[in-house]
Structure 1
Amino acid sequence: MNDDYGLAYFYFTFSDSEKQKLDIMLLSLIGQLPKRPSDRGLPAAVVDLYNSTKAIGKSADTSTLKVLLSQIIKDFMKTFIILDALDEFPKGTRESLLSWIKELTVDHQAGSLSILVTSRPEADIVGSLQPLTAFSISLQSKTIDPDIRTYVQKSLSGKGGFKKFPEEIKNEIEDTLVVRSQGMFRWVDCLLRILEACLAPDDAREALRKLPKDLDSVYTRILESIDEVQRIYIQRAMNWLAFSAVPLTLGQLAEAAVIEYDVEKYGEDPKTRALFDTGCLMSICPSLISFEDVRDDESFPQEDRRLRLAHFSVKEYLISDRVAQGPSAYYRISEDEANLRMGHACLS
């Protein structure tokens, strides 16, 4: 890019608490913008801030970082900032982020700064950003359908579980999922996993006739299908995945899932506990849990790979009031209860 233009990008994600903080985002943007080919060193404002904070042994506060970023942006003729998945910034503190976007827009002349935001159309985000928006693009179903069809076709031809089905069934799956998807890739991905597990063509046809209408229905079906003996382990696993301060490895989660939240068992020898089978954990709910990284290296132990909830909508579902009133109420999670249970487990 021309030296007169600056570009910085930040991706918010529910699975990494560090990527849900305003000051971390500001630091990332500041770190990206000074990197111009013609620069021999950092901007003077950055050096001054470093020296001043180093002298008192503290990090810069959020207000200082906002001012610094604004100063750096003004060094460019035009700056582009991309904020991806804004809806994954915690709703409880999202107002601080939305207010900063407004402040930044007002602080710079028209034409000198462009901000691209991607997000689901949540009410607070739309309400705050709509007055600032030059134009918006809504990804309607008909716009996305060709991409969804391509994704389904590649899945049907590439995944081993679909090889047992004749082309006629595969065509039915493709057409049904595209028509019913309403632009939701996530819904399609979950249903492909369910259909792949069908043992015979008639089973697949029956599953197509009973497709869940939305993601809530998909998640409810998955959780209801879990064997009663395994429910407690999956419930504990969901607690850790939703609210653990750091991502757990598959091996750590398998160990955590068998720890009872019972104060009377504190001090029990952990070696006497049988680990929850890791393969079982992944096979029970692959649509709800996924690996944080994608590795083709078979020499890397699966137990050492970090896990996360497969999608932001999984956590939204588990903490929602909708679950509390439905057939999957057993799996509903609250942050306070999850933290209490994890604390008990750590003391066990």
Structure 2
Amino acid sequence: MSQALTATARLKPEIRLAQAVSEFEADLSGEQKAVFRTNKANTIQSSPNTQDVMRLAAEIDRASGRNGRCLGPRLMNLLQAVQKFAALGDVIVGGSQNLIACGIWTIVRTSLQLLTAFSSYLEKLSMLFMKVGRSAPRFESMALLYPRSRDLQSSLCEYFIVVVHLCHKILQFTRKSNLKKFGSSLSDSNLTKYQSDLESWGSTIKEEVGLLMAARIEEEANKNSKLRDVSSKFFGTASNQQKVQARQRVLDICTNFDHMVVWKQIRKAGNTNIFCQCPHYQRWTSSTTSNSLIYTGKLGAGKSVLLANIVETLHLQVQDEVIPVAFFFARHDVSESLKAQTVLGSIARQLLERVSDLTKPAELLERINNMDPPEKVFALLQSTFPQGYRVFIIIDGIDELGQEEREFLIRHLHTLQAMFAVSFCVSLRQDANDPLKIGSEQLSTVTITSIPENTSEIELFISQELQRCIESKRLIVGDISLLLEIQETLTKFSQGMFLWVALQIESLCAMETDEAISRALKDLPKGLSETFWRILQRSQRLGRSYQKSILELVTVAQRPLTLEELREALSVVPGDTKWNPARLLNNIHSALACCGSLVIIDEEELTLRLVHHSVKQYLLLEFKDPASGPITIVEAHARMSDIIVTYLSYSDHGRQLSKAIIPEIKTDETMNGIIRSTRYSLDYMSWLALKLLRSQNDSSFNMAKTLAEAKAARFHSRDHFFFRDYAMLCWQSHISQSLPLGPKISSLFERLCERKALDPITMTNDEASFLLFRAAETGNISAVR
């Protein structure tokens, strides 16, 4: 046995991957094998694309039951990695490699479909997929880089060996009897091992891709023919390589914005199919000419969730047709998503991604180089698709765009509808924009309709949320009949607002007695503004000193901040340029409690955002803290500007951290400050703390190794400076909104400019012009000269 294992270990990764695929197939039943081989043959004939990823995730959700939590989006990053690996078969030489890659896609699909019958295990596995998906190899440039590196090829094979082994474990689990499933092989320890291996290989692949990208840039500069020759051997011919390069050029000219992130976040918020029986929707989907469907609804009524479900449903409905579905969800706290060109570019890229050979539009690029971006994108589309080409386009959050951007977008969407048969769907707030005011009359064949009556879905939503809260022990009641009272009361006063209901349930979970819950049900807030006010007042006691700072920073951030970015930002004392890690919050989660349920952490991206765009409107227009006053857009930008300028002035940013010599230290010596000296991981530091404290009775225990680990973690964290990337990318947006700067910050800012520490390349012409205008207007022109 040991000799067999040793022999296996010596085999090349691609051979071991082929073995893993064969072993999975061999373990299938006769009926399963027949289905597996049919699906595999279909995949070989037509490599999976992004729409297949959407479809598979939707199928898993539907098969596992619509009444539970939406799990499909959690699977998508890893599914995209598998899809991109399978798609490599279109551009690299080697039929066997193509067979293996397509086999992996079929294996993942098969294992997930088998697991849909076991909802609790599917939820656990979806969490694993989501976590490893953060580091999954989904690089757009993979087709160009794969042939250039043997190390990258081996690492990818190792990564997908782990994926196949995980799927094989799922297959074996589904075959167990109900008795054996109890406490069976899908244990936390098994899943943790798979997660660790996938994250490790994902990190290795990321490093290799980074090195290859740098080498590729250098190669282009040096015109290195040797590397190009090596690539050509893998591609088969130089023309194949040129096709891949041309394709990437065309896609990148559109945009690099990831439109999937916001859609996934919104899709997870809930399920709905009320639109399916709506005559307006049915006419919209069946039309073969350009038409427009506009849904309107009150604030918090679930318009975004409705459109997110429409996107998913369309992917399932058109799977046997050649009708693409493109979508974009603009969000108030992602400034890039509020630009019309980003929306148009993303729509164009999604359409062009479906085409494997983009040589023709690539040849057009040179001739249209002087065109404005929208015209350039439309020229690419016209050179690729025929007149009357049928397309579904769904856009949410269009009323979040500024007036000029909105009008620009509507005008060009109308142009798109004139070129192709575009069925366009959008949502608007009833209390914010009359559809006519945004220029929707310019669109083709417009139908305006309110969101269908949703009382039954509100009732189901309340029931499901209460069930989850009870299962997670976040809501505890002594008298179970109180649950019926909660359901009836929330349904009665919801006024069709899912957001209002969700926030009331969160508030009820904080109640400690049945009496408190009953009292709260008799005094529910009348609307969203009163709800927001109560949440902030109740949560303020958990961190009054941080509440306003956090709300200001989250409100004006140009994109959602990560936990580590906010943690570092809150540690900055404006004007004090000495980096002091002792100021870092030990528990950022505890600090965030002062904002209650209005600031949430995205489970996948690990970023912070306001629970709804209406919270931002409330904070800037209505909120007023009796102690610290109102939040204004200018003061919020000023706080962020002060933090950014001070942070970028830290001397540590340009200093190389030296290695520290760790002496032998006995545990009976002082331990004061050891825990606070490290800021890498709260869980990790807790483990180190316990290790040290439990060793105090052993005077001979040498804790040098433990302290070295703590120091290493500290250096790792300090070397990263998590907030630096955001500060370098977004300084101009905040400073232009907060001029004039205070004397001390202005002086620091001028020094940064003199040292050329601020990169002006990140600024667009419009941003640079606005910054100069504001500097001149406020008498701060010297700061940006």
Tell me which interval the TM-score lies in, with the shorter structure as reference length: 0.7 to 0.9
Cα shift readout 1:282-304 (whole Å, capped 9, x = no counterpart):
33334211123348xxxxxxxxx
Answer whether contact 1:73 1:79 (CA < 8 A) is retained: no
Aligned-partner Cα distance in 1 for 2:610–2:643 = 20
| Structure 1 unmatched runs, 5+ | 296-304
Q: Structure 1 length as normaliser, TM-score?
A: 0.80
2:563 counterpart letter in structure 1: L
Kindly state the Cα deviation for residue 17 of structure 1 after the two structures are TM-superposed. Answer: 2.2
Cα pair distance change 1:188/1:272, threshold 3 Å: same
SS in 1 for 2:531: helix
Aligned-partner Cα distance in 2 for 1:70–1:165 = 65
Q: Does 1:252 align with 2:565?
A: yes
The partner residue of 1:347 within 645, 649, 670 is 645
Q: Which residue of 2 aligns with 1:156?
A: 466
SS in 1 for 2:446: coil
Q: Which residue of 1 aligns with 2:394?
A: 82
Cα pair distance change 1:242/1:8, threshold 3 Å: same
Q: Which residue of 1 aligns with 2:362?
A: 47
Cα pair distance change 1:286/1:230, threshold 3 Å: closer
Kindly state the Cα deviation for residue 229 of structure 1 after the two structures are TM-superposed. Answer: 8.0
Aligned-partner Cα distance in 1 for 2:468–2:520 = 20
Q: Which residue of 1 aligns with 2:341?
A: 23
1:138 counterpart letter in structure 2: S
The partner residue of 1:118 within 410, 427, 433 is 427
SS in 2 for 1:172: helix
Answer whether contact 2:329 2:396 (CA < 8 A) is retained: yes
Q: Which residue of 2 aligns with 1:283?
A: 593
SS in 2 for 1:178: helix
Worse-superposed segment, 285-294 or 178-187: 285-294
1:171 counterpart letter in structure 2: L
Kindly state the Cα deviation for residue 21 of structure 1 after the two structures are TM-superposed. Answer: 1.7
Kindly state the Cα deviation for residue 328 of structure 1 after the two structures are TM-superposed. Answer: 9.0
Kindly state the Cα deviation for residue 3 of structure 1 after the two structures are TM-superposed. Answer: 6.4
1:291 counterpart letter in structure 2: I
The partner residue of 1:176 within 489, 503, 508 is 489
SS in 1 for 2:454: helix
Cα shift readout 1:208-257 (whole Å, capped 9, x = no counterpart):
11111111111111122244683341211112212223422223213323
1:282 counterpart letter in structure 2: L
RMSD between aligned residues = 3.0
Answer whether contact 2:535 2:596 (CA < 8 A) is retained: no
The partner residue of 1:215 within 506, 510, 528 is 528
Cα pair distance change 1:246/1:15, threshold 3 Å: closer
SS in 2 for 1:234: helix
The partner residue of 1:310 within 591, 602, 611 is 611
Aligned-partner Cα distance in 2 for 1:182–1:43 = 54
Kindly state the Cα deviation for residue 199 of structure 1 after the two structures are TM-superposed. Answer: 0.4
Kindly state the Cα deviation for residue 329 of structure 1 after the two structures are TM-superposed. Answer: 7.6
2:588 counterpart letter in structure 1: T
Cα pair distance change 1:158/1:228, threshold 3 Å: closer
Cα shift readout 1:66-118 (whole Å, capped 9, x = no counterpart):
4544665654432221112322334563232233334444x348xx2221112
Answer whether contact 1:8 1:32 (CA < 8 A) is retained: yes
SS in 1 for 2:623: helix
Cα shift readout 1:176-198 (whole Å, capped 9, x = no counterpart):
11111111111111111001110
Cα pair distance change 1:179/1:3, threshold 3 Å: closer
Aligned-partner Cα distance in 1 for 2:404–2:549 = 25
Kindly state the Cα deviation for residue 165 of structure 1 after the two structures are TM-superposed. Answer: 4.1
Q: Which residue of 2 aligns with 1:333?
A: 632
Aligned-partner Cα distance in 2 for 1:177–1:73 = 50
Cα shift readout 1:31-55 (whole Å, capped 9, x = no counterpart):
122345xx551273x32453457xx
| Structure 2 unmatched runs, 5+ | 1-317, 647-785
Cα shift readout 1:151-180 (whole Å, capped 9, x = no counterpart):
111121221222334222111111111111
Aligned-partner Cα distance in 2 for 1:76–1:293 = 41
The structure showing larger relative contact order (alpha-carbon pairs under 8 Å, at least 6 residues apart) is: 1
SS in 2 for 1:340: helix
Answer whether contact 1:241 1:248 (CA < 8 A) is retained: yes
SS in 2 for 1:317: helix
Answer whether contact 1:33 1:72 (CA < 8 A) is retained: no
Kindly state the Cα deviation for residue 278 of structure 1 after the two structures are TM-superposed. Answer: 1.4
Give the percent of matched residue pairs that are identical in Structure 1 and Structure 2.
26
1:134 counterpart letter in structure 2: V
Aligned-partner Cα distance in 1 for 2:604–2:327 = 22
- Pairs within 5 Å for 1:225-240: 225-227=538-540, 230-240=543-553
SS in 1 for 2:467: helix
SS in 2 for 1:117: strand
Aligned-partner Cα distance in 1 for 2:535–2:424 = 39
Q: Which residue of 2 aligns with 1:62?
A: 374
Cα pair distance change 1:51/1:199, threshold 3 Å: same
Cα pair distance change 1:187/1:40, threshold 3 Å: closer
Q: Structure 2 length as normaliser, TM-score?
A: 0.38
Answer whether contact 1:23 1:65 (CA < 8 A) is retained: no
Worse-superposed segment, 77-86 or 196-205: 77-86
Cα pair distance change 1:67/1:196, threshold 3 Å: same
The partner residue of 2:623 within 323, 337, 342 is 323
Q: Which residue of 1 aligns with 2:129?
A: none
Bigger fraction of residues in helix: 2
Worse-superposed segment, 305-314 or 180-189: 305-314
Answer whether contact 1:12 1:20 (CA < 8 A) is retained: yes
Aligned-partner Cα distance in 2 for 1:242–1:73 = 41
Cα pair distance change 1:209/1:64, threshold 3 Å: same
Cα pair distance change 1:165/1:52, threshold 3 Å: farther
Cα pair distance change 1:103/1:76, threshold 3 Å: closer
Q: Which residue of 2 aligns with 1:299?
A: none
2:477 counterpart letter in structure 1: K
Kindly state the Cα deviation for residue 343 of structure 1 after the two structures are TM-superposed. Answer: 1.5
Of structures 1 and 2, the larger Rg is shown by 2
